[in-house]
Amino acid sequence: MALVLVCAVFLWGVGHLLKAPYSARFTMIGLLCLLVLAVQLLLPMGHPLRDMTGGSAGEWMVVVSLGLAVWAYSRGLARLREMVRPENQRAPPSSDQSTAELERNARHIVLREIGGPGQKRLKNARVLVIGAGGLGAPALQYLAAAGVGTIGVIDDDVVENSNLQRQVIHTDDRIGMPKVFSAEIAMTSQNPFVTILPYNRRLTRDVAQRLFADFDVVLDGTDDVATRYLVSETTVALGMPLVSAAISQWEGQISIFDPSRGTPCYRCIFPEAAADGLAPTCAEGGVLGPLPGVLGSMMAVETIKLIAGAGDPLLGRLMMYDALGGDVRVIGAKARKDCPTCHGVGIATGT
C-alpha cells in the first residue's frame, strides 16, 4: 500500500507543477485507486503486482467507496450552490466593499445625531414593512438607501398599471410581477449592501407572531383595516414599535405606536373601523400621486430615528398632513384604559 501512496503523492506533485486544477488531480488519483482495485480483483493470489499494491480487495473497495462518497458529497454541494439565486449569494465583504459602503453612508456618519455608532445600528437592524404599495414603496427605498441591514417586505399583490402613478418603487416593465419581488429588484439595485427578505403572501394571524419576532421594527403601510388591527395586536404582544401611516386623497397621518414605551396603541386612537363610505380607498376616492411619497418617506425618517436613537420620534403623537391646504398639525395621543389590545398600558407609564 505504501507504493500506491507514493504514486498518489507523485501524481499530485506533477499536477501541482503543471498547475492542473484540483479536479484533474483528484481524478488521476481516483483512477489510480480504481486500477489498484482492478488488480486486486482480477489477478490471482500471490501475483507480484498484487503483492506490490498491498492490502486486499476488500480494503481497497472500502477506500474506493469512501472516495466516491466524498466526491458525490462535494458534487452535491456544488449543485446546491449553483441553484442559489445570484442576488442571494452573499460574499464576505472585501476591503473595497467596506470602503464603498463607508463612502455611501458618509452623509449619515457626519450627522452628529447619527454618526458612526448610529449607522452601525442601522446596519445591524431588521425592519419589516407591511405592504409594498403607495406607502411601502418610498419607505422601502429610503430604508434601503439608508443602509438598514435587513429589510423584510410582505405583500400578496402584483404590480398593476394603475399603481405606477404613486408606487415609485415599481416600473412599467414589471407589471404583473409580485410587488415584493419588484421591490426587491429596486432595493438591491439601490443598495447591494442590504439583505432583502420578500414574503409573497398575505399577512394572516397564523404567521404574524412568528414573522414579526424576527424583526426589530414594523412599518404598516396597508390600506386594509383588518390587517392594521392585526399588525397592532401583534406588535403590542411582542413589545415592538410600530410605525404606522395612512393616506386618503390629499391627506395623510403618521404616528409611532409602542405601549412598551408608554404610548397608546393603534386601537386606542382608532377603536373602530370607519363606517362604509367615510374612508374611501385610493381606487374609490383617488389619491394625489406624491402624497404617499411624503408619508412613506416620513415613515422611513421615524424608523431611522428610532433605530439610531436620534431626535424625538413621534411616540405618543399623531402628525397630520394636509397637502391641499399645505398644513401640518401634531397632536398628543393618549392610551385608553378600556382598550382591548393594550389595556391602557401607556397610562401607567405616564402618557
What confidence category does residue 158 fall into, taking pLDDT thresholds of 50, 70 and 90? very high
Q: Collapse the DSSP code of 137 into the 3-class scheme (helix H, G, I; strand E, B; otherwise coil) and give the result.
A: helix
Residue/partner pairs of 118-121 with CB below 8 Å, 24 or more apart: 118/307, 118/308, 118/309, 118/310, 119/147, 119/308, 121/307, 121/308, 121/309
Q: Which residues are catalytic?
A: 282
Q: What is the mean pLDDT of the chain?
A: 84
Cα(207)–Cα(104) distance, rounded to whole angstroms? 35
DSSP-derived 3-state class of residue 209:
helix
- The CATH architecture assigned to 98-348 reads 3-Layer(aba) Sandwich (3.40)
The predicted-structure confidence for 39-71, as pLDDT tens digits, reads as follows 666 666 667 766 666 656 666 666 667 767 766
Q: CA nearest 120: which of 146, 95, 100, 99? A: 146
- The predicted-structure confidence for 325-337, as pLDDT tens digits, reads as follows 999 999 998 888 8
Give the model's pLDDT for residue 223. Answer: 86
Higher-pLDDT residue of 3 and 112 is 112
Structural domain spans, the chain: 2-86, 98-348
What is the rounded average pLDDT of the residues 11-15?
65
**pLDDT tens-digit readout, 67-102:** 677 667 767 766 766 655 554 555 555 566 578 888
Burial 180-201 (b: 16+ CB within 10 A, else e): bbbbbbbbbeebebbebbbbbe
Closest CA to 268 of 331, 346, 205, 208: 346
**Cβ-count burial of 43 within 10 angstroms (0-12 exposed, 13-18 middle, 19+ buried)?**
middle
pLDDT above 90 covers what percent of the chain?
Answer: 57
Q: How high is the pLDDT of residue 236?
A: 94
**Which carries the bigger pLDDT value, residue 73 or residue 222?**
222
Q: What is the pLDDT of residue 76?
A: 72
pLDDT at position 143 is 97
What b/e string do you get for 150-172 counting C-beta neighbours within 10 Å, with b at 16 or more? bbbbbbeebbeeebeebbbbbee
Write down how long the chain is.
Answer: 351
